[in-house]
Amino acid sequence: MNRSVLSILMSLGLAGSAFATEAKSYPQAPADPADLSVSQSAIFAGGCFWGIQAVFEHVKGVVSTVAGYSGGTVANPSYEQVGTETTGHAESVLVTWNPKLVSFGQLLQVFFSVAHDPTELNYQGPDRGTSYRSAIFYQEPYQKNEIAAYLAALEAAKTWPRPIVTEVKQAGPFYKAEDYHQDFLRKNPNYPYIVVYDMPKLKALASAWPELYVDTSAQSWHELPVLGPEDKRAFPVVKSDAEWKSSLSAMSYKVLRHQDTEMAFTGAYWNEHRTGTYYSAATGQPLFRSEDKFESGTGWPSFTKPISQDAVVLRIDRSLGMERVEVEDSSSGSHLGHVFDDGPAPTGLRYCMDSAALVFVPDGTVPPPLVKAYKP
């Protein structure tokens, strides 16, 4: 990210950017189609992806954010390749949101007000090159229409003193960036670049759009983000209690939706040794692989890690007079079990799951309808 110039800019007092502090200076958000019922996604680019990801992580209704590369021609590029400005990719963030909680139009308001300066052509702050360009890679036709409408409204209102140069293009392949780039601000809040360039964006977001701002300063447990007991999070799959009860077995309903626990050595999978994948019994979301399962002697299926850390949400659980770390699936917030720090290498963790919260599909067999129907 051209960090070499940071100290020079700071010494000259040139670091930082001006952001909106009043939402009234921005046009009204365009309306979404009325029939949006499942999670939606789009890709946003506007300079270093650390700041873009951090802003959208703090927006109410955003389900997930992934830093990566998009808009170019090279498959599976590395950070170093993108930095040569020869791949055509922009540092980007794949944003997924719950349309019942936040609209695409509101995300556009955030993007064009506090996430970056849309009038800077191929640069943001100290970062120079096409990989830092302003761009939106839309996924659906309605998004293209809303972008056009909002850009026209911004230009008509002369919200920005210079022309907006944001590229608008249909989304192509998106390539996830290296792990150390993910959630960089949350993991490195005191990093000089973050302090100077990205923390002001979060302050501007909270000031300009308080109704959209969510404080996600979660606790950390073994360097993993952990929500507090009352922290709110949006999940892409939302059902009423009656709908959950009608779609799940009695035991699965108790475990997944009411944090119950099956008795040790009674579940279907504690002694399962076949090769395959374990899915959420609530949504069909893939959660664990058999290669990461081990014999814990506890009577519950135990794993050293999930398929991806994004597959689960960790939350502090202070029930039963003790503090534990609860594990939820990231698709619906359904309870899966707890994770402990007494597991084997390489993670040292033990994801202790309830069999009733899982569906196991052996490799080479036909998945059940729930798994087939799952859409991330």
pLDDT number for residue 271:
96
* Residue 77 in this model has a pLDDT that exceeds 90: yes
Determine how many CB atoms are found less than 10 A away from the CB of residue 142. 17
CATH number (domain holding residue 290): 2.170.150.20
Tell me: do 213 and 246 sit in the same domain: no
Query: What's the average model confidence in pLDDT over 153-180?
Result: 95
Tell me: do 131 and 209 sit in the same domain: yes
pLDDT number for residue 230:
77
* Residue 30 in this model has a pLDDT that exceeds 70: yes
Position 28 in a domain = yes
As a whole number of angstroms, the distance between CA 280 and CA 328 comes to 10
Query: What's the average model confidence in pLDDT over 223-240?
Result: 86
Position 226 in a domain = no
* Residue 153 in this model has a pLDDT that exceeds 90: yes
* Residue 2 in this model has a pLDDT that exceeds 60: no
Tell me: do 185 and 247 sit in the same domain: no
Position 225 in a domain = no
The residue out of 217, 233, 263 marking a domain boundary is 217
pTM of the complete model beyond 0.85 = no
pLDDT number for residue 40:
93
Query: What's the average model confidence in pLDDT over 39-50?
Result: 96
List pLDDT tens digits, range 306-353: 999 999 999 989 888 777 999 999 999 999 999 999 999 999 999 999
pLDDT number for residue 375:
84
Cis amide leading into 346 (omega within 30): yes
What tokens appear for 345 in the block? 């290498």
Biggest distance spanned by C-alpha atoms of the chain: 67
pLDDT number for residue 9:
39
Position 183 in a domain = yes
List pLDDT tens digits, range 238-262: 999 999 999 999 999 999 999 999 9
As a whole number of angstroms, the distance between CA 55 and CA 78 comes to 23
CATH number (domain holding residue 15): 3.30.1060.10
User: Which amino acid, residue 264?
Assistant: A
Tell me: do 38 and 97 sit in the same domain: yes
Position 223 in a domain = no
CA-nearest of 64, 120, 131 to 91 is 131
Tell me: do 63 and 174 sit in the same domain: yes
pLDDT number for residue 100:
86
| CB neighbour list of residue 192: distance below 8 Å, 6 or more residues apart | 6, 7, 10
Tell me: do 139 and 42 sit in the same domain: yes
As a whole number of angstroms, the distance between CA 256 and CA 337 comes to 9
Lowest average pLDDT, out of 100-104, 129-133, 258-262, 285-289, goes to 100-104
CA distances for 158 relative to 109, 146, 309, 330, angstroms:
15, 18, 43, 40
Tell me: do 210 and 256 sit in the same domain: no
Position 12 in a domain = yes
CA distances for 219 relative to 61, 333, 344, 368, angstroms:
20, 18, 24, 37
Tell me: do 249 and 143 sit in the same domain: no
For the chain, how many structural domains are there in total? 2
Average pLDDT, the chain: 90
Tell me: do 272 and 194 sit in the same domain: no
**For the chain, percent helix, then strand, then coil, each to nearest 5?**
30, 25, 45
Tell me: do 180 and 64 sit in the same domain: yes
Residue 23 pLDDT grade (very low, low, confident, very high; cuts 50, 70, 90):
low
pLDDT number for residue 3:
45
CA-nearest of 282, 292, 290, 245 to 358 is 282
Tell me: do 11 and 140 sit in the same domain: yes
pLDDT number for residue 35:
86
Lowest average pLDDT, out of 209-213, 247-251, 266-270, goes to 209-213
Q: Which residues are catalytic?
A: 48, 352
Following DSSP, what letter does each residue of 141-170 receive, concatenated? HHHHHHHHHHHHHHHHHT-SSS----EEEE
* Residue 302 in this model has a pLDDT that exceeds 70: yes
Do 196 and 10 meet the contact criterion of CB atoms below 8 Å apart? yes
Determine how many CB atoms are found less than 10 A away from the CB of residue 24. 6
Position 228 in a domain = no
Do 20 and 27 meet the contact criterion of CB atoms below 8 Å apart? no
Nearest 10 degrees: Cα torsion 57, 62, 66, 67? -50
The residue out of 162, 185, 217 marking a domain boundary is 217
The residue out of 155, 182, 217 marking a domain boundary is 217
Phi-psi domain of 370 (left: phi exceeds 0; alpha: psi -120 through 50; beta: other): alpha
* Residue 185 in this model has a pLDDT that exceeds 80: yes
Residue 108 pLDDT grade (very low, low, confident, very high; cuts 50, 70, 90):
very high
Residue 13 pLDDT grade (very low, low, confident, very high; cuts 50, 70, 90):
very low
Phi-psi domain of 91 (left: phi exceeds 0; alpha: psi -120 through 50; beta: other): beta
Tell me: do 44 and 152 sit in the same domain: yes
Position 236 in a domain = no
What is the extent of the structural domain holding 251? 241-373
